[in-house]
Amino acid sequence: MHNSIRFILQSITVGLAAAAILLLIWPGLLNDRIESSEKQFVRSYSDAVNLAAPAVVNVYASRVFQQQINPLFQDPVFKRFFGDIQPQPNKRRDSKMGSGVIMNSQGYILTSAHIIQGQDEIQVNLNDGRQAEAEVIGIDTDTDIAVLRINLDNLPVIRTGDSNKLNVGDVVLAIGNPYDFGQTVTQGVVSAKGRKRMGITTFEDFIQTDADINPGSSGGALIVATGELVGISTAIFSTTGGSQGIGLATPVNLALNVMQHIIEHGFVVRGWLGIEAQILPPDILRETALENGGVLVAGVLRGGPADLAGMAPGDIILKLGEQSVSDPQQAIELISSLNPGTKLEILIMRGWEEISVQAEVATRPVYGQ
């Protein structure tokens, strides 16, 4: 018993002596360990906000409508009894608000297409108090992305990150102008990546976050804890109109690609075949016993690339090039990624026969401009 106690005391003494010698040799060791522990518990994101917030703007879009004069005033019977009355037409202003992000020193701004679509006056308010009329460079309703441009000097520019490197659980901050309160920051995490089939846009690859994105925040910035832009806030999924912890943002990599196309061409250049694709019905899938599935061609636009290639409604697309397809969204995205003019081999099933046709990819028509 005495030997055991003596051994324990000796071990403690040796340990304390070793720690004292180590601290004498490396005085900053204890502070380094404390700082390392503190880094695991971020107490503030103010540095990230200070870095990104100056480049986030408020966007106000409006359009003046001239209400039609009641045709009763032009009726001959009315004029006979009341005279030739010519009332002045009433004017009504329709306004929308949102947010945007200054992407470069040339004044290009990313925002949401649904904010400015159909509007003819766009005003941008900067965080430093400056205001400017914005020019609409282009709108892409297929991704709900629009590009504006303002003519001001010394513009704050946001730093862009890589949305492909985002992980579920990463801390993100949303900066925008909810309910026209003024610039507001909300915090959350990346809840999911690659959200599709939300029925919001044609091409969907949303970042889902529980950072509050309320009306007016659309077009604003979704940033990581170091201040880099990783997404453009797009919409909320809500049954009440307010945030319920499900916000959606367009990945910045996709938004930058759209912006580049719009600046260069005025619209996004995408491939197109002129088909309406649908999910293969279960009964057809059972009858054909297709191992990899397929996509049903529900309609073919007359004179379009698919029509010229000999495709017809009822065909089942098995492969586009070397890629097997089993989902309409997958097929549309694959076709859209091809450059116009590309010769595309398409393997289809017609009846019980597999047929290979070749179509020349055309430019996808631009809608909603």
Whether residue 218 lies in the annotated active site? yes
Enter the tokens of residue 33. Answer: 């360990």
Given a contact cutoff of 8 angstroms between Cβ atoms, the answer to whether 267 and 138 are in contact is: yes
Given a contact cutoff of 8 angstroms between Cβ atoms, the answer to whether 148 and 111 are in contact is: yes
**CA distance linking residue 336 with residue 270, whole number of Å:** 5
Whether residue 95 lies in the annotated active site? no
Given a contact cutoff of 8 angstroms between Cβ atoms, the answer to whether 143 and 250 are in contact is: yes
Whether residue 217 lies in the annotated active site? no
**CA distance linking residue 300 with residue 315, whole number of Å:** 10
Enter the tokens of residue 132. Answer: 């400017």
Catalytic residue among 99, 140, 142, 144: 144
What's the Cα-to-Cα distance from 344 to each of 329, 339, 357, rounded to whole Å?
A: 18, 10, 8
- Helix or strand or coil: residue 232? strand
**CA distance linking residue 220 with residue 127, whole number of Å:** 13
Catalytic residue among 99, 114, 233, 315: 114
Catalytic residue among 112, 218, 243, 336: 218
* Nearby residues of 357 by Cβ (< 8 Å), 6 or more positions away: 309, 310, 311, 345, 346, 348
Residues marked active site are found at 114, 144, 218
